Amino acid sequence: MKKLILVSNDDGYMAKGVRELMGMLAPYGEVVAVCPHVGRSGQSMALTFDAPLRIEEVESPVAGARLYSCSGTPVDCVKVSRECVLGGRLPDLVVAGINHGSNASVNVVYSGTMGAVQEGAMWGVPAIGFSLTSHDADADFMAVRPAVDALVPKLLEEGLSEGLFINVNVPHGVAHAPMMFCRECKAHWSEEYQQYKDPMGKTFFMLAGHMVNDEPESTDTDLYALAHGRTSVVAELLDRTAPAPQVPAWLRTLASK
């Protein structure tokens, strides 16, 4: 039986990133994409339990592949697909992206695209997300193809240790960026909220800011890789329980009284 590849994203079913990704994946299996009806960036692993979810098949940009639009979040798209689109069958691989913009470093926790990847990984199937460091709606996503061709067939053949998922970020504007296996960089968003007055004179705020690398000297991080023209490949954990040595003794002691 042909391998089944479930695809999702957070930029919505109309985004160029996911449409190009479907074409790149088609040689490796049966591709079914279930994507948000509109852009749902920054939705993390948000899910919908108190509102109707609607799904409809839309015209696929790739022959032989299927594309669905769903009214929910990226996590909803993955969750609902199994029962309502795939007839209960688990896919052999979940792929999300290609995200319009970086999901490196701490962005991984806010990203709806990486939320879809984690949701897939929670089924116990290999799951990987691809992002390109450009927010341009018409960016050249072909830069991501070498990473897809290197990683996707391997994941389909070898699988992935249960409890892991993969976050791949490709630097925009670099031809044939070599891959670098690395770790999540410590970074933070330096946030500023811009203040506005609405037409009624009431105050509102909008999020602005930029990401700051908290370990600019480190050479083994995803932000280092991207800054040096490489594609970052990070393996991430689903289970976040801290290993005992990292937990202060007072906490372990107190809590076991």
Least separation in angstroms between residue 46's CB and a copy of itself is 4
In the complex, the smallest distance separating the C-beta of residue 63 from a copy of itself, rounded to whole angstroms, is 27
Nearest to 17 by CA among 154, 132, 110: 132
Q: How far is the CB of 64 from a copy of itself (least distance, A)?
A: 25
Contacts of 179 (CB under 8 A, 6+ apart): 147, 150, 230, 231, 232, 233
Whether the ω angle into residue 128 lies within 30 degrees of 0, i.e. cis, is: no
Q: Are 113 and 127 in contact (CB under 8 A)?
A: no
Minimum Å gap between C-beta 62 and a copy of itself is: 25
Q: What type of residue is 56?
A: E
Instruction: Count other Cβ atoms within 10 Å, centred on residue 86.
Output: 15
Distance of closest approach, residue 209 Cβ to a copy of itself, in angstroms:
9
Give the CB-side neighbour count of residue 206, counting CA atoms within 13 A.
3
Nearer to a copy of itself, 62 or 86 (CB): 86
Between 203 and 217, CB nearer to a copy of itself: 203
Determine the Cα–Cα distance for residues 169 and 229; give it in Å rounded to an integer.
11
| For a copy of itself, the closer CB: 63 or 254 | 254
Q: Which is nearer to a copy of itself, 138 or 195 (CB)?
A: 195
Find, among 2, 10, 8, 17, the residue nearest to 95 by Cα: 8
Nearer to a copy of itself, 142 or 207 (CB): 207
